[in-house]
Amino acid sequence: MICMVFKKAAAAATRRFSPHLQRRWTASWIALSAVLMLTVLPAPAANPADPVAGLLRSKIEQRRQRHAFVCQGEILCGLAVIPAFYARRHYLPAWSHAGRVLPAAGELLKTLEQASQEGLRPADYHLHKIKALLADLESPPPGASPPPAAWADLDLLLTDSFLLYAAHLTAGRVNPETYDPQWLAFSPSVDLGTTLSAALRSGSIAAGLRQLAPPQPGYTRLKNALQHYRQLAAVGGWPTLPAGTRLGRNDCDARVLLLRRRLASSGDLAPGRADPANECFDAPLESALIAYQQRNHLKPDGILGPDTLRALNVPLKNRIRQIVINLERWRWIPRDLGRRHILVDIADFHLALVERGQALLGMRIVVGRSYRRTPVFSSKITYLVLNPYWNVPRRLASKDILPRVLADPLYLKQQKIRIFENWRADAREIDAHTIDWKHLKGHRFPYRMRQDPGPQNALGRIKFMFPNRFSVYLHDTPHRELFAHFQRDFSSGCIRVQRPVSLAVELLKYNAGWDRAKISARIASGQRRVVVLKKPIRIHLLYRTAWVDASAKLHFRPDIYGRDRLLEKALLAKPPAG
C-alpha cells in the first residue's frame, strides 16, 4: 500500500515512517494517530473571516476519532501530521487564497506529475481527484461561486499529496521489514509538517521535495538510467535473438546482425565501431559482448552462449522494473554512508572499502546460500579477532556437524572441535566420547561446539565484528578455492572475505603499531587476540540487482534470493479505496 504510518520519534514532532501494507487501517495506526493529534490540542481558533479555514478545522476535527481520513473518496495518509500542520497556521488554507489557487499548487502538481522520474507513481498522489477539483473550481457554472467546502477539500488533498510524496522520497513506498525479516531499513528522522511549511514559505515546492531524495550520486545515476531505458522503450526497445548454436569470433551467421543491433541499443557497441551489415563475428563485436557480459555478471568470454543469450533476451520492460526496484532500495539506506565506510554488495559478491567516494580496497566475497540468506542492514565494525574460536551455531551443529560426527567418529578430533555442556561462559568441557550422538539426532541440540583457532578453523585467521541481531560478521576462510567461483553463495549467512589481512591493515591504520607485519606475526603466533578499532568504521550490507557505476555503466545482477520479486509485488499493490 502507498500509505505510510507516521510514527512519533520525538516530542518535537520528528517523524519516522514505516509503510502501511494492509488493506485496512491497523489498531496501532489508530492509537498512534490519536496520540499525535492530542499533542496539538488545544488548537488555535480558525480565522473567522475565512470560511475555508473554518471548514478545514471542522473536517479535521471530525476525523480525529475516526479510523481513516477520507476526502473526496481518497484516503489521506497524513492523518498524524495534518492536524498539527493546520493548527500551526490557524487552519488557513495553504494552497489557495481568496478563491484563487496559489502558484505553489501548480508547482506541486508539476512535481508530482514527474514522480515517475524517481521510480514512483504519480497516480498515488491524488492527482486525478485534484485535477478534477481544480477544473470545477476554476470553471464554475455561470453565475455560481465554488463552495468553500470544495476549496477545503482541494487544500487537504494537496497537503496530503505533498506529505505522502515527501514520505516516499524520504523512506520509500514500502518497508522491507514487513515482508523480509532479514532486511532492516534505515529509519530517517524528518518533520514533514515543518518541511511543508518551509517549502511554502520559500516559494519553492520542488526544491523542498528534491532535498528529501537520496543525495548519493549512485541514486542520481540510476534515475538517469531509468529515463534512458524508458526512452529506449518508447522507440521500440531492443531486438530478441533467436536460439541457435554458440557464436564466437570469426563465426558467420545471420544472427550476428541482430546481436550487433542488440548491443548497440544497450550502448555496449558504439556507433561506427563495426559494419552493421557484416554477418561475421569480428573483434569489435567480441569486445562489445565482453563489455555486456561484465555488466551482467556473466562469464566474460566474448561468446554468445546460452547464459548470455538468456540475459540479452530479458525484456526491456523487465529491466526497467529492476531499475525502479533498486531506486526504492536507495531510499532505505542511510543518507550519510560515512566519510570512510565498507560496502558489502551481496548480489554482486563484492566488498569495497570507500573513503571520500573513492574505493581504496576491493575484494571478492562469499555470501549466504539461498536458504541461509545474508541479511541487509547497516552497522559499525568495532573490533576484530585474530585467530578466533568458532562457536558453531546450534542450527549448524545439529544440521551440518552432527551428521558428519555420526559418519566419522574422528571428525571432531580432526577438526579440533571441542564440546561444552552449554552456552554459558563458564560451561564445563565434555569428553565427546561420552555423548550418545545417535540419540541427539532430531532433538534440540543442548551442547556448544567450539572449534579451536588454527588453519582448519571455519572462520580462518581473522573475523571482523559489528553488532547486529543476526549474529553475522565478516571473516577469513580456509576454503580459498571458493573465491574462484563466479557465483559465490556458499556460506551460512556470514560473509567470507578474499583478502582479510589487507582489510585488517586498512581498519587498523589508526591503531598505532598495527601494520601488516605485526598483524601477520600475531596470526602466526596462533594465539587468540581481540583488537578494538581506535576508529570504528561504518559497514553497509546492500542487496543491489541494478546500479550505475562512476563511469556511467549500468550493471544488472541476478536476484539470487528472490528479493526483487517480493518487492515488485509490494510496489504494485493497489492503494486503498476510500
Catalytic residue numbers read 475, 494
What residue spans of 442-554 are helical by DSSP H?
Answer: 500-507, 516-525
Which amino acid, 155? D
For every residue of 33-54, DSSP letters joined together read HHHHHHTTPSPPPP-TT-HHHH
Contacts of 202 (CB under 8 A, 6+ apart): 208
What residue spans of 117-216 are helical by DSSP H?
Answer: 127-138, 148-171, 192-202, 205-210
Cis peptide before 44 (omega within 30 of 0): no
- DSSP, collapsed to helix, strand or coil, labels residue 425 as coil
What residue spans of 266-401 are helical by DSSP H?
Answer: 283-295, 306-312, 316-330, 394-396
Compute the distance between CA of residue 166 and CA of residue 164 in angstroms, rounded to an integer: 5
Q: Tell me which residue of 242, 539, 537, 257 sits closest to 376, measured CA to CA.
A: 539
Q: Which long-range contacts (CB under 8 A, 24 or more apart) does 403-408 make?
A: 405/432, 405/437, 406/437, 406/438, 406/441
Compute the distance between CA of residue 330 and CA of residue 210 in angstroms, rounded to an integer: 15
Q: What is the CA radius of gyration of the chain?
A: 29
Neighbouring C-beta atoms of residue 85, cutoff 10 Å: 22
DSSP state of 239: P
- DSSP, collapsed to helix, strand or coil, labels residue 321 as helix
The values of phi and psi at residue 266, to 5°, are -95, 5
CB 8 within 8 A of CB 32: yes
Which cell numbers hold the place of 49?
Answer: 473571516
Which cell numbers hold the place of 401?
Answer: 556437524
Neighbouring C-beta atoms of residue 98, cutoff 10 Å: 8
Compute the distance between CA of residue 557 and CA of residue 564 in angstroms, rounded to an integer: 11
CA end-to-end span of the chain: 13
Which amino acid, 317? K
The values of phi and psi at residue 388, to 5°, are -75, 155
Q: Tell me which residue of 175, 183, 16, 174 sits closest to 542, measured CA to CA.
A: 183
- DSSP, collapsed to helix, strand or coil, labels residue 359 as strand
Compute the distance between CA of residue 340 and CA of residue 373 in angstroms, rounded to an integer: 26
CB 508 within 8 A of CB 351: no
The values of phi and psi at residue 308, to 5°, are -65, -40
Compute the distance between CA of residue 279 and CA of residue 270 in angstroms, rounded to an integer: 17
